[in-house]
């Protein structure tokens, strides 16, 4: 199974508060991914003062990638078009891009977000 961490799961992983089940999956699976969309979201929230982290966003993100052997995914044209075509269940454009990415690559999203779970065809883990 391949997993994609949403931004909330990425924060939970960095703070040691990821669920036991999700932690086991992340630690025992070589194919755990994080979208560059999450870094973009963190950087925007940090720059606008809505998020406080101990390091600059890029440093924080790169440490997580290295410390947890996460694989990075870039945004693609296909992701953006798929995200725009999703049903309007979730209004957050970052989450919509993560959902689209999961659908395209058949990933299970590690998330506690109740709205993401509502999308048809989405597999989640928390």
Q: How far apart are the first and last CA of the chain?
A: 14
Give the DSSP letter string of the chain.
--EEE-HHHHHHHHHT-S-HHHHHHHHH-S-EEEEHHHHHHHHHHHHTTS---SS-HHHHHHHHHHHTTPEEE---HHHHHHHHHS-TT---HHHHHHHHHHHHHTPEEE---HHHHTSTT-EEE-
Total-model pTM: 0.95
The dihedral of CA 125, 13, 107, 114: what is its sign? positive
SS (H, E, C) 90-108: CCCHHHHHHHHHHHHHCCE
- The distance of Cα 117 from the centroid of its chain, to the nearest Å, equals 14
pLDDT recorded at residue 78: 97
Tell me what percent of the residues of the chain surpass a pLDDT of 70: 100
Mean pLDDT, residues 42-71 taken together: 95
pLDDT recorded at residue 42: 97
Query: pLDDT tier at 76 (50, 70, 90 boundaries)?
Result: very high
For the chain, list the domains and their CATH numbers. 3-125 (3.40.50.1010)
pLDDT recorded at residue 23: 95
Mean pLDDT, residues 24-46 taken together: 96
Mean pLDDT, residues 7-13 taken together: 96
């Amino acid at each position: 199974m391949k997993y994609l961490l949403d931004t909330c799961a990425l924060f939970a992983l960095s703070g040691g508060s990821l669920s036991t089940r999700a932690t086991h999956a992340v630690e025992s699976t070589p194919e755990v991914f994080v979208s560059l969309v999450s870094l973009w979201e963190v950087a925007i929230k940090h720059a606008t003062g809505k998020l406080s982290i101990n390091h600059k966003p890029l440093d924080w993100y790169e440490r997580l990638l290295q410390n947890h052997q996460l694989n990075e995914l870039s945004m693609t044209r296909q992701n953006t078009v798929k995200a725009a075509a999703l049903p309007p269940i979730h209004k957050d454009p970052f989450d919509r891009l993560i959902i689209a990415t999961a659908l395209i690559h058949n990933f299970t999203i590690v998330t506690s977000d109740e709205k993401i779970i509502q999308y048809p065809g989405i597999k989640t883990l928390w």
